[in-house]
Amino acid sequence: MSTALPLAANLPVYADHRPITDAELASNGGKQRNLVLAILSTESSRLPQPIPESDWSVPADDTTAPPFLVGQVFVSGDASLSSKLAPFQSSLTTTQTVALDAVEEWTINSLNVYPHPFHIHFNDNYVVKVNGEAVTPFWADTLPVPPNGSITFRMRFTDYTGKYVWHCHALDHEDLGMMQLVNVIGTQKVIL
């Protein structure tokens, strides 16, 4: 039996999934972050040189690793060219600190031909641009970042204080360090 899927316009809309307008963004802090997910050579100028002694990269003598991963580092961080990138849990990894009830716009960039799937815990994403071009906004949970491109979305940080992560949702990428902490600070709401 063939059953047609419902049109998106006919699906229920949750109260939390109302559009995030420019006015709402501006009146709730309006912070914009420009971040990156990348697989880089240990020789990359985007890494601190020399890279710190640690498990940052797959060593040449690791016979279990695919050869294309040897000498590569899985990193995330600030997209500005002056910022150094680092894998999760290194001493150089930064934390994205966000105020409770903030509304922010994030742009996630990929420096690779791989479409890294972006995911952040606790927040859905209201996508407004792909590769810098405006799109008809839509809500998503996990987003493929276009190869060597970007995706821009807005989020409301309303329900949770404390630390959680944003990361590449490819399991081997996040396990190798393509992840960063988010710390939402403020007073936790009590819902009765």
Give the integer Cα–Cα distance in Å for 3 and 85: 48
pLDDT tens-place string over residues 141-167: 999 999 999 999 999 999 889 999 999
Give the integer Cα–Cα distance in Å for 179 and 167: 4
In a domain, residue 26? The reply is: yes
In a domain, residue 81? The reply is: yes
pTM of the full predicted structure? Answer: 0.88
Beta carbons within 10 angstroms of residue 135's beta carbon = 12
Q: What is the pLDDT of residue 71?
A: 86
Q: Is 92 exposed, middle or buried (0-12, 13-18, 19+ CB in 10 A)?
A: middle
Q: How many domains does the chain have?
A: 1
In a domain, residue 135? The reply is: yes
Give the integer Cα–Cα distance in Å for 171 and 167: 10
Print the domain residue range for 43. 16-185
In a domain, residue 1? The reply is: no
CB 78 within 8 A of CB 94: yes
Give the integer Cα–Cα distance in Å for 88 and 94: 9
CA 169, 20, 119 angle in degrees (round to 5)? 5
Read off the CATH number of the domain in which 26 is found.
Answer: 2.60.40.420
Q: What is the pLDDT of residue 14?
A: 80
Give pLDDT < 50 ranges for the chain: 192
In a domain, residue 191? The reply is: no
Tokens of 62: 């690791």
CB 82 within 8 A of CB 119: no
CB 104 within 8 A of CB 157: yes
Q: What is the pLDDT of residue 190?
A: 54
In a domain, residue 99? The reply is: yes
In a domain, residue 172? The reply is: yes
Q: What is the pLDDT of residue 11?
A: 79
Q: What is the pLDDT of residue 6?
A: 83
Q: What is the pLDDT of residue 109?
A: 97
Q: What is the pLDDT of residue 188?
A: 60
In a domain, residue 6? The reply is: no
